[in-house]
Structure 1
Amino acid sequence: MLLFFTVGLLVHFVFFASIFDIYFTSPLVHGMTPQFTALPPPARRLVLFVADGLRADALYEFDENGNPRAPFIRNIIMHEGSWGISHTRVPTESRPGHVALIAGFYEDVSAVAKGWKENPVEFDSLFNESKYTWSWGSPDILSMFAKGATGDHFFAYSYDANDEDFGAQDVTKLDTWVFDKIKEFFHAARKNQSLFSKLNEEKIVFFLHLLGIDTNGHAHRPSSREYKDNIKLVDEGIKEIVSLLKEFYGNDEKTAFVLTSDHGMTDWGSHGAGHPSETFTPFVTWGAGIKYPQKVSAQQFDDTLLKESKLRYWKRQDINQADIAPLMASLIGVPFPLNSVGILPVDYLNNTDVFKAESMYTNAVQILEQFKVKMTQKKEVTLPFLFTPFKLLSDSEQLNILRKARSYIKQRKYDEAVSLCKDLIHLALKGLSYYHTYDRFFLGISVVLGFVGWASYASLLIIKSHSSLTRGVSKEVKKPSHLLMCSFVAIGVLIAFFLLIQGCPWTYYVYCLLPVPIWYAVLREYQVIQDLVTSLLTLPLSHFVGYLVFCTLGIEVLVLSFFYRYMLTAGLIVFAGWPFITQLWTRAKSISLSWIFFCLLLAVFPLMPVVGRKPDIFLVMGAGLMVLLLSLFVVTSLIKRKSGFVNGELLLHLLQMLSIVLSMCVVYSTHNSLLRKQGLPLINQIVSWIILASSFVLPLLSPTVLPERLVSILLSSMSSYLLLSTGYEALFPLVLSCVMFVWIHMEQETLQQCGVARKQKVSNIQFTYNTDISQFRQLSLDDTRRAFFLVFFLLTAFFGTGNIASINSFDLASVYCFLTIFSPFMMGALMMWKILIPFVLVMCAFEAVQLTTQLSSKSLFLMVLVISDIMALHFFFLVKDYGSWLDIGTSISHYVIVMSMTIVLVFLNGLAQLLTTKKLKLCGKPKSHLI
């Protein structure tokens, strides 16, 4: 069996990794020829202001006194430049946002392995194409582009990463630092002839990354005075820099300015998902080569932004975030970034029609170059008779369109040329997507065959080894047919030869050859299959159909819960009726009432908001008080039940209660300290980390008696969970644990009702790692329900207080008791532990269910494996490669979560066994228990 689990882990790791080869491969290609417009550019230099985390409505709105929030920018919109909304894509994070702005392509999904901090594939950018680029701001952003820059022309000046402190008294210093440094820079340039000469070159870029608004938004929310005052500060700083540059360059009117943001921010101070407040960012541009404001009587946009900003009569031009890169390249006359997929927004340009047409033609050729390289790469590794080219953009069609566009330009039909080039760009982008997903169907078929084969083999193993369904099957291991083995070997050789002559990557061999041994293992169990079919035919048709409907509906509910959290509520309401269906109501009314009450109470959580909830410190305090009351009840009951209640055990309970009290104090104190802008107190930080570390050790000091060990695990987990909570979610583990406690009793009552003798009370059962195999029984159909319950409760643990969007854009306030200085990996690890705590509680309870029902953990685990594999197969077919990035990313996340569930279950099962069965002995003689 150990060999099976090892092989199963490897197989699921392959299935899990396949999603990265199918969907998480980099779309970037290299080897293109740089393309630029030969006509003189309108600007010699460009200044890019990126106000990190700035929402569009926050910049354009009026303050409480009826004055513009950013008066200088509003003056630009009304008298000097053009404005609109820059639409970003998911994930709305700093790295992909800045890559889209400066390199012109949306996030390389393979960068997920780098935590969205840097791109794992080298890419071209506006900075790399410029003559010189000077940048000031966050080290995380500047270092990313410094890594990709070639030659000695990119200069980065950044502050210390520790300055990015969400609990600092004044985080606007992140922006004032940038403004002060650029002032010092130009002041020094007047005395440095070499620098002065460089600054007077053409095709240069100044990049100012302003992080203060984002940091204030995370710490205080975008509705706060701190966030809004920071916008005013940035507005004033931009005004000073513009004035400084005009003075330095003698007002030569050869400077172009761009103000935008990498992403927005939700009302609750997070970003990462696809809410409009995150994807709508401001875009204001003025100076050399930019159109002046245009008055209009009506606009096509039907939203509140035009009304509230009072800009309805000034023409608004929305663009996609990636379109900004080609616009900036066109303004200063540098080649478009090689990997850019942005479309030049010619309506922003204040230049001749021929310049616009030539620039759009250059844009089309630049994207077409990527298409050609992608097609050539795919053609080289595909057999000629199997290669299917992108029919909408053949070689002849490319030449015809380019010739026609060039002809339009010569005939001065500039609008027609621009329109034709846009059509060519759209075709080239479709072609890029076509070749990027060329092998997707082929690989998908291989993975599906492996999935179905593995689920079939696991099912046959359950039936053969852990059930009495196939009593007629001989227990002798019969040698498989020689012909069968030779057939599968021949199939494997043919597949390997086919992949070899196409020069496929080694991972393709794994995905395509894996189904071969799996299906061989399935077909060699033909006797089990035959006996299973015979057994099923003897069952009453109503029983068979009912069981099939239950399994189908149950799995569909699990799948739908990923999309609609209220399906968990519906499931818990159905669970509440379980005592009436099984007549447990007449046998154990008190337990049944508890089950109904706690199931209905738990059903409330999936209906609560997950994104947009406001912090409520009093709910966290309330959860802590309820845990303390539960602790007092447990201690009192133990003292009454045990006449010899060991002092050490009482001391341990008191220590865990003290840990809960300390957690409440730390949460309350940290909350107040941050409100007063005094930062995170050092003592609070130390106590938080001590509580977190002790939560792994204290349960191992408690007795291994089932109820006492489970209560100890709950108390230690809650002490950590309270520190990571900001609102109602603090109550969730407590209610979930109550359901788990009642579930254990309900399962034992159900087993007794089915005629299985109950050996001992739940309160007397000991967690032991090495259980006598003779205590185990064969699987029954009712055990399918127990496996289903486990999967359902695991999904409830995951989606009970969150969803995909809330995890992608988690509230940083959850980790403020541990740290406030920005550290994505540390913060992510803490949030991951917060997510895992409910999982651990469910798995520990499941260990108890296995003991009380006298069932082998291996058999139940195999059933859970089959259920999760069927769900994973659902999500594999539901993965999208079209629509918005939110749709695509969510569908991929669903598949990854279900695949991770199978792999993580092995880890969680081991962790649950460690927490329930192991006991630390500090010193002296082992403690004895009076049971």
Structure 2
Amino acid sequence: MDRKSEYQDIEQDSEQTEDIKQDGKNQSMKSLDIESNFVVNHQELVKRQKKQNKFLWMTIGFAALFHLIFLFSVFDVYIQSWRPLGMQPIQPLNKNNFAKRVVIFQYDGGRADIIYGLKNKSYETEIGKPRVPIIHNRIKEGKANFGILYAMVPTESRVCVQNMMGGYQEDMTAILSGWASHETLKYDRLFNYVKAGFFFGPELLHDIFESQRCSSCVRLDDYPDSAINYNDHKQASTFDKLVYQKVTRLFNNGQLEKNDTPNKLLKEYVTLKEDQEKLQSDQLIIYMTWIASDAIGPAFKPPNKEYHLSIGNTAKLIEKVEKKIKKYYKDDGETVFILLSDHGMADNGAHGDGNPQNTFTPFVIWGSSIKPAEDEMDPQNPETHDDYSKKWDLTIKKRVDINQNQVPSLISILLGIPIPTNNEGILPLHLLDANELQKAYALIQNAYQLQVTYDKIQELVEHKQNWFFKEYKYSPSQVLYNLSQLKQQVDKLVKDTDNGKNLSAQQTEEVKKIISDTYIQLENIKNGTVYLKLYQKQILQAVVGSGYASFMLLCLVAIFRYNNTSQENEAEIIKQNNVPIYKNFCLIIIILFGLFSLFYLNLTDSKPLYYLYFGLPLYFLYQFYKQRQFLNQGWDFGILKCIGSYILIALAGQCLMYSFYERQFIGYNFIAVSIFSLIYSKYCFGSISKTTLIWSVLCLLISIFPIFPPISIANDTWYAIGFVAITITLFYFSFYYFNQELETSVKIMTILTLYCGSMSLYLRTVESSTVPYFVFGINWAILFSLIGSVVFLNLHKNSDSNLRLYSLVVIMFNLALLFGISYDILFYLIFALLLKAWIEHEKEISVIFSKEYKIVPYHFYFLFKFILLMNISFFGIQDLVSLGSFNYESVTRFVVNLNFLVTLALMVFNLTLPFLCGSSAFIIICKSAYQKLNSVGLFIISLIYAEIMTIDFFFMVKTEGSWETKGSSVARFVLSSMLVFLYTLLFFIAHYLFKSTKIQSA
């Protein structure tokens, strides 16, 4: 009997078939089964293969949907959003105000080291003098206290300023609605309690400074944020002059200074009388936002001339304003001045993460009832200064740091108004120049305010949990009782000592003990609030964790069922599992647990999403239980080798996971892969082939990039080198290597690289405001044409897979040249060469498995390399766990004014093309080197690695520590989940693009 078997990928138009010729006559089409080599009818085989395809694609679809749904679990488990409203404010306990008015100068986007620092640039006059003289003067005169104000990120204006005005920081669930939303913000803030207030700044912050209790009490003198050109430092600086003119006009009877030309945005002054009445009021706040530094920083970068000069120019305006205010009030000693920043700015112009450059901002306060900074005992070896602040020439005074959410309680106590009810910060008592009893009253008022919030949150949680609620050991009622006892002690001391004027040594110790006990109650309130916010943490952790684990097991079943199992064995296993319900113990347990879950979720008034959290793991576990015996159809070697293989797979998943924590780990992984490839080739073939050697060398080359720091500053030299290297490479392949085989459209795109690279270099050497708008129009036209090339790539007449992949690489190079700023161009070049070497390397290795018709451990290693390539395309040149590390200069080829949504869309698309090229290389390898296996089934292996990473990230989310610690831990989980969705989407696109291509078998 003469038999020929031709195996092709089941996703191609032709299926596995076998022509059987016997005695010169054609028999009906039959196929040799992969596992047991028995002959089955062709129709049954086709039916099984269709069922196989349907099941595998459903598994991938489930993966995308499952990760998209469970993406929100991190917010429900770790970041419950509680913002109780309608609470009664606590009235001040001190009878007298410490000050009549507070004046706030806010440097928008001002970094502490640059604002505190000394002039040290060649373009600055008076080298060695303070960049902001008013700060150094007030501190060295012994009038001001100073330190670092730790910004609460994400550092968009709304979040930071809202935290300074209300002490309330939105949790990370706010990213679902947008940080900079212009809708009215439902939280309490300082301006709700002042008798009068003024705000000068951009329209973006309008809602934060209006009073919800007295609309006529606060004047909002703003200007449209849309008028700011973030790439024109000259134009941006005029907005600080505009604020100065508005303030000058307020304190100068509606008149500007002589010879001062009014800004075109300066509106007519029509409320002079009412404003003058406000200025004479007590409990007054005047807030000024100086935006030039924030408008200039993203485009021109904080280390550069434009940013430094804007800081200095604004400092001159602030000093003039301080003099005018003092003169207006005849220096009555009833004013408190505060100079601060809402956030800092990293060297690359971003400010959205926990980088110290973004969170270390200045805080200088002087005036009525403010305790000046204490002297350092030894200025040469200061106790409170580190290397960061020793450069400021302020080591003669002690540095005192506070958190951003401590500002509202301080201002409230100074003005004698209620602390905002949503405030989360604790009063920085050490900044007050008052007697001990006044300090005790102030701290107890703060504790009462926080206790009311604690009590309200418990009321909401208890109402929701019903029977399942258990009170924290220090309940709100117990804390309230303790605070009442402390207040009574203070009241008694006030009576006995004539309002604290005649405190004895023993009474002083009593007050200190009261203050210490109040801090203990504040700690109890904090712990109790955290307990309530994470009330369902343990049960949700278990449910969500089991969801990821059960789906990973289901993926393993899917792989082994349709790749390592014969049709006969499959039918036998399915028949064994078809038992009556009353004998199916596992099914009964799942049903009972499902009923209990419904009862629990209904009784606790849970969100609809919780039903999916509980329901999907039950479904996955039941499906796994039904098909668990397919795992026995996996690898047919001994139990110890099986266990060892699974351990290695888990370790590989851990190696991929650590890449999200340290980019350098990706480089180490590639070094290990390079060395292992050489050893494996030598072991299997007796020598190291040229293909393996090229692959290993390229692995070593690309491992360099993640070991380098993320690109933060543009470098024209590196960009030019990369531009030349890409141009030479593309022209060689397009006009020599492929030449006649290549389509004209790809050759045109090759020539287009000359424009993309040259224009990018040109745009970096000139101010964007001088560039004709048609240039940006051409760049957008090129961008959309490249997107269209990807969309219509499948319509091209050329069906060769290598040429189609090369077309994608040319598109990627054009985009890289448009978005690139430094040696990232070289990275994309090496990445593209690595993909080509990977395809050839896998074809060579696949010869070893040419007789294998099932999944073996090496295929997991193959998928490990695939995920590793995807990770390095994402983290190779940027630490993109935080979007704050993204360099906004990358999008200045397309926009003049930075727009968050446009910037984000451009960034995501730029990151997508390398992913698509990697997915396309994966498809080519599956259909050429491993054509006897199902490419969809192989891809599911990558989902197993994704589950290992995602489970790790889910249980490693932090709820304590700095924002950088908490935010990064959440970002890693979210990023891992989103990458699964992106992998799936791009695999589907690549599968479609290469469905009808001709792929040469290994």
The residue type paired with residue 713 of structure 1 is: L
Corresponding residue for residue 260 of structure 2:
none
Deviation at 1:328, TM superposition (A): 1.1
Deviation at 1:819, TM superposition (A): 1.4
State the 4+ residue runs in structure 1 displaced beyond 6 angstroms: 147-150
Corresponding residue for residue 747 of structure 2:
654
Corresponding residue for residue 765 of structure 1:
none
Q: How far does the alpha carbon of each residue in 1:768-808 deviate from its partner, in whole angstroms, 9 at most, with x for none?
A: xxxxxxxxx64343322222222121112122112245533
User: Which of 355, 365, 376 is the aligned partner of 1:285?
Assistant: 365
Q: Within 5 Å, which residues of 2 pair with 1:311-350?
A: 311-350=394-433
The residue type paired with residue 163 of structure 2 is: A
Aligned equivalents of 2:338, 2:917: Cα separation in 1: 52
Identity of aligned residues (%): 24
CA 1:725–1:492: 2 relative to 1, 3 Å: same
Corresponding residue for residue 606 of structure 1:
706
CA contact (8 A) 1:595 1:742 kept: yes
Name which of structure 1's ranges 302-311 and 894-903 shifts more when overlaid on structure 2.
302-311
Q: Within 5 Å, which residues of 2 pair with 1:393-472?
A: 393=475, 395-412=477-494, 413-468=510-565, 472=569
* Alignment of 1:50 onto 2:106: yes
Deviation at 1:872, TM superposition (A): 1.0
CA contact (8 A) 1:670 1:684 kept: no
Corresponding residue for residue 12 of structure 2:
none
User: Which of 211, 224, 227 is the aligned partner of 2:291?
Assistant: 211
Name which of structure 1's ranges 898-907 and 86-95 shifts more when overlaid on structure 2.
86-95
CA 1:398–1:672: 2 relative to 1, 3 Å: same
* Alignment of 1:192 onto 2:272: yes
CA contact (8 A) 1:680 1:817 kept: no
Aligned equivalents of 1:458, 1:796: Cα separation in 2: 25
Q: Looking at CA atoms only, which structure, 1 or 2, has the larger radius of gyration?
A: 2
DSSP-derived class of the 1:235 partner: helix
TM-score norm. by structure 2 comes to: 0.84
Deviation at 1:480, TM superposition (A): 4.9
Aligned equivalents of 1:17, 1:58: Cα separation in 2: 39
CA contact (8 A) 2:385 2:395 kept: no
* Alignment of 1:666 onto 2:721: no
Corresponding residue for residue 763 of structure 1:
none
Deviation at 1:169, TM superposition (A): 4.3
Q: How far does the alpha carbon of each residue in 1:55-106 deviate from its partner, in whole angstroms, 9 at most, with x for none?
A: 2221222213222211222222223322222122443443322122111133
Aligned equivalents of 1:467, 1:504: Cα separation in 2: 42
* Alignment of 1:162 onto 2:226: yes
DSSP-derived class of the 1:209 partner: strand
CA contact (8 A) 1:721 1:837 kept: no
* Alignment of 1:906 onto 2:906: no
User: Which of 457, 469, 491 is the aligned partner of 1:387?
Assistant: 469
CA contact (8 A) 2:355 2:964 kept: no
CA contact (8 A) 1:264 1:280 kept: yes
Corresponding residue for residue 707 of structure 1:
802
Deviation at 1:600, TM superposition (A): 1.0
Corresponding residue for residue 632 of structure 1:
731
CA 1:306–1:7: 2 relative to 1, 3 Å: closer
Aligned equivalents of 2:158, 2:272: Cα separation in 1: 34
Deviation at 1:208, TM superposition (A): 0.9
Q: Within 5 Å, which residues of 2 pair with 1:883-922?
A: 883-916=961-994
* Alignment of 1:356 onto 2:439: yes
Corresponding residue for residue 134 of structure 1:
198
Q: How far does the alpha carbon of each residue in 1:113-167 deviate from its partner, in whole angstroms, 9 at most, with x for none?
A: 2332149862111122223332122222334555978744443333333333232
Aligned equivalents of 2:212, 2:541: Cα separation in 1: 34
CA contact (8 A) 2:103 2:336 kept: yes
Aligned equivalents of 2:570, 2:994: Cα separation in 1: 37
Name which of structure 1's ranges 256-265 and 745-754 shifts more when overlaid on structure 2.
745-754
The residue type paired with residue 653 of structure 2 is: I
Aligned equivalents of 2:222, 2:807: Cα separation in 1: 48
Aligned equivalents of 1:678, 1:731: Cα separation in 2: 29
Task: Flag structure 1 segments of 5+ consecutive residues without an equivalent.
Answer: 758-776, 920-931
Corresponding residue for residue 770 of structure 1:
none
DSSP-derived class of the 1:271 partner: coil
Aligned equivalents of 2:312, 2:179: Cα separation in 1: 29
CA contact (8 A) 2:681 2:692 kept: no
Corresponding residue for residue 937 of structure 2:
859
Corresponding residue for residue 723 of structure 1:
818
User: Which of 606, 622, 627 is the aligned partner of 1:504?
Assistant: 606
CA contact (8 A) 1:25 1:109 kept: no
Corresponding residue for residue 78 of structure 2:
23
Deviation at 1:456, TM superposition (A): 1.4
Aligned equivalents of 2:189, 2:747: Cα separation in 1: 60
User: Which of 85, 91, 95 is the aligned partner of 2:154?
Assistant: 91
State the number of aligned residues: 886
Q: How far does the alpha carbon of each residue in 1:236-278 deviate from its partner, in whole angstroms, 9 at most, with x for none?
A: 1112212222333344332221110112223343322333332
CA 1:469–1:86: 2 relative to 1, 3 Å: farther
Deviation at 1:11, TM superposition (A): 2.5
DSSP-derived class of the 1:836 partner: helix
DSSP-derived class of the 1:696 partner: helix
User: Which of 253, 266, 278 is the aligned partner of 2:346?
Assistant: 266
CA contact (8 A) 2:880 2:886 kept: no
Aligned equivalents of 1:59, 1:789: Cα separation in 2: 47
CA 1:315–1:574: 2 relative to 1, 3 Å: closer
Corresponding residue for residue 662 of structure 2:
564
CA 1:808–1:62: 2 relative to 1, 3 Å: closer
Deviation at 1:352, TM superposition (A): 4.0
User: Which of 515, 518, 528 is the aligned partner of 2:630?
Assistant: 528
Corresponding residue for residue 834 of structure 1:
910
TM-score norm. by structure 1 comes to: 0.90
Name which of structure 1's ranges 269-278 and 258-267 shifts more when overlaid on structure 2.
269-278
CA 1:585–1:201: 2 relative to 1, 3 Å: farther
Corresponding residue for residue 768 of structure 1:
none
DSSP-derived class of the 1:524 partner: helix
DSSP-derived class of the 1:695 partner: helix
Corresponding residue for residue 616 of structure 2:
514
DSSP-derived class of the 2:571 partner: coil
Corresponding residue for residue 237 of structure 1:
317
Aligned equivalents of 1:137, 1:724: Cα separation in 2: 33
CA contact (8 A) 1:409 1:417 kept: no
Deviation at 1:447, TM superposition (A): 0.8
Deviation at 1:282, TM superposition (A): 0.8
User: Which of 548, 564, 574 is the aligned partner of 2:672?
Assistant: 574
Deviation at 1:587, TM superposition (A): 7.7
Corresponding residue for residue 923 of structure 1:
none
Q: How far does the alpha carbon of each residue in 1:518-576 deviate from its partner, in whole angstroms, 9 at most, with x for none?
A: 222122225435x44xx76x623553244234213211211122222222222212222
Aligned equivalents of 1:842, 1:71: Cα separation in 2: 55
Aligned equivalents of 1:755, 1:455: Cα separation in 2: 28
The residue type paired with residue 670 of structure 1 is: L
Task: Flag structure 2 segments of 5+ consecutive residues without an equivalent.
Answer: 1-53, 121-126, 256-270, 495-509, 998-1002
DSSP-derived class of the 1:324 partner: helix
CA 1:713–1:145: 2 relative to 1, 3 Å: farther
Q: How far does the alpha carbon of each residue in 1:331-356 deviate from its partner, in whole angstroms, 9 at most, with x for none?
A: 22221111111111122223344332
Corresponding residue for residue 68 of structure 2:
13
CA-atom RMSD, angstroms?
2.7
DSSP-derived class of the 2:308 partner: helix
Name which of structure 1's ranges 138-147 and 417-426 shifts more when overlaid on structure 2.
138-147
Q: How far does the alpha carbon of each residue in 1:835-887 deviate from its partner, in whole angstroms, 9 at most, with x for none?
A: 22321221121121122121423201221122211221121221121222211
The residue type paired with residue 123 of structure 1 is: Y
